[in-house]
Amino acid sequence: MQIDDFLKLIKNYTENNVTCDEPHVSLRCMENHITIEEVKKFLLHESEKLIRIVEDRPKVFNIYYKLSKRQELKIVLDTFTYQRLNIRTVKRLVQKHKIGFVRRRF
């Protein structure tokens, strides 16, 4: 699925259309210092921070949002039920080392 296809899919969705695996997602949100409401806000309203979408299995997607220069938010969701997005898990990815070019000494 491309980013444009995903944005067309969620264009008419509201927070009522987004569900989650409640005990698991709540624990992951607490571990990553984020609330479920913030995750829903990212899914529905923060399209400019969307970096990439990876289809893990049929109808299961890994969605990545840019939080800062070295942090990303990974949301795993599925679209098994009609007109619903089900959040499976949430993870804040922190890049410990800056990846870039190494200067060559002469």
Is residue 50 a part of any domain in this protein?
yes
Q: Is 102 a domain residue?
A: no
Burial class for 17, CB neighbours closer than 10 Å (0-12, 13-18, 19+): middle
Q: Report the distance separating Cα 18 and Cα 83, nearest Å.
A: 9
Phi and psi torsions of 52, nearest 5°: -155, 160
Does the residue 104 lie in any domain? no
Number of domains observed in the structure of the chain: 1
Q: How far, in Å, CA of 54 to CA of 11, rounded?
A: 19
- Assess if residue 100 is contained within a domain: no
Q: What is the mean pLDDT of the chain?
A: 87
Measure the CA–CA gap between 44 and 39, rounded to whole angstroms: 9
**Residue 97, pLDDT score:** 64
Asked, for residue 106, whether it belongs to a domain, the answer is no
pLDDT tens-digit map of 53-79: 999 899 899 999 998 888 999 999 998
Kindly report the CATH number assigned to the domain that includes residue 55.
Answer: 3.10.450
Any domain includes 101: no
DSSP 58: T
Residue 100: predicted pLDDT:
63
Is there a contact between 21 and 87 (Cβ–Cβ < 8 Å)?
yes
Q: Say if 99 falls within a structural domain.
A: no
Among the residue ranges 32-36, 67-71, 96-100, the one predicted with the least confidence is 96-100
Enclosing domain of residue 84: 3-94
Q: Average of pLDDT values for 3-14?
A: 88
Nearest to 69 by CA among 32, 96, 34, 36: 96
Quick one: pLDDT at residue 70?
Answer: 87
The whole-number pLDDT of residue 103 equals 67
With a cut of 80, say whether residue 99 has pLDDT above it: no
